[in-house]
Copies of this chain bind each other. A is one copy, B any other.
Amino acid sequence: MQVVSVIKRVPDEIKERLVENFGEVDFYFCHGMKEGRQHLKEADVLITFGEDVTPELIADATRLKWIMVLSAGMDQMPFEDISRRNILVTNVRGIHAIPMAEYAISMVLQVSRQAKALVQLEQGHQWNRRTPMKEINGQTMVLLGTGAIAQETARLAKTFRMKTVGVSKSGRTKPYFDETYSVDRMKEALSHGDVVVAVLPSTEETTYLLTEEHFRLMPSHAIFLNMGRGDLVASHTILQAIKENQISHAVLDVFEEEPLPESHPFWEEERVTVTPHLSGITPQYLPRGFEIFERNLQSFLNKKEDMENLIDPKRGY
């Protein structure tokens, strides 16, 4: 039984643990696909970020039975070839929940507690106690999306005694939400949002889902935070909402164009906070990804039952 990993810079600690816990398995930890390719012919299992798997590689890897993708997105996977060979695919869906939820709470607290203004006061050696502070306690957070990331964010928000309202396609009840609305009642939900957090994936239905009208419906003190996809709303719609005081602040981690061009007006807008698509970045990424792999390898060796995050290659998710 051979496992080939083409993930670069896997910490030694993780390698050693796997080797120790699975004596019957031969592991090849390779620095990328270029190095890993030579072992693919004999590989039963491939661990990859999913961006380097081609139809040719699948054809060569004649013994391959399972691909563990250490990513949540799998746009570049050749699912047709994989499906034809009945190769299992699992991913690390939900792995971004913890850092992204921490990002959301951190940024909402920062805006409420005027972090930018305080950094500027500090730079000027100015002791000014009149910078108005706000609490998040008691406010309503409306989350567009009710998946793993939204749930983790809502879980934290509820501890701060926020009311949590979720908006999803179905409007089905989900853990950590006080209320859930289906997307056709989104306007009603948005009108209650002291804080609106978008964590929607990019699909045909969510592309440019938010329009000027939606921002007009939000309370004028609302904070809008987008950490889902940049094409949920046009940049000029957000800029206009800020300039016309339809909302009080926008926190943006994703953009229509990334990197955000140096000349983009978002950078200069005091009430827009730009972060360079880092809400999901965490040093815990590989450790958590390999933990999921390890549990799945156990299941794989035991009759392949109960594997986590199993993907249907026909649908690609």
Contact = CB atoms under 8 A, between A and B. Distances in A.
A159 B160 CA distance: 10
A266 to B, nearest CB: 9
A57 interface: no
A134 interface: yes
A137 interface: yes
Interface stretch (A69-77, A182-190, A267-275): A267-275
Interface string A167-198: 00000000000000000000000000000000
A110 interface: yes
A25 interface: no
A113 B102 contact: yes
A149 to B, nearest CB: 14
Contacts of A276: 121, 127-129, 131
A133 B267 contact: no
Interface stretch (A14-22, A27-35, A238-246, A278-286): A278-286
A167 to B, nearest CB: 23
Number of identical protomers: 2
Contacts of A106: 106, 109-110, 112-113, 115
Contacts of A259: 127
Interface in A139-173: 155-156, 159-160
A125 interface: yes
B128 A160 contact: no
A136 B103 CA distance: 11
A260 B127 contact: yes
Contact of A282 (B110, B126, B133): B133
B275 A137 contact: no
B119 A115 contact: yes
A53 interface: no
Contacts of A118: 275
A50 interface: no
A115 B275 CA distance: 10
9 contacts: A98-B137, A99-B133, A106-B115, A116-B119, A122-B274, A127-B258, A129-B278, A129-B281, A138-B284
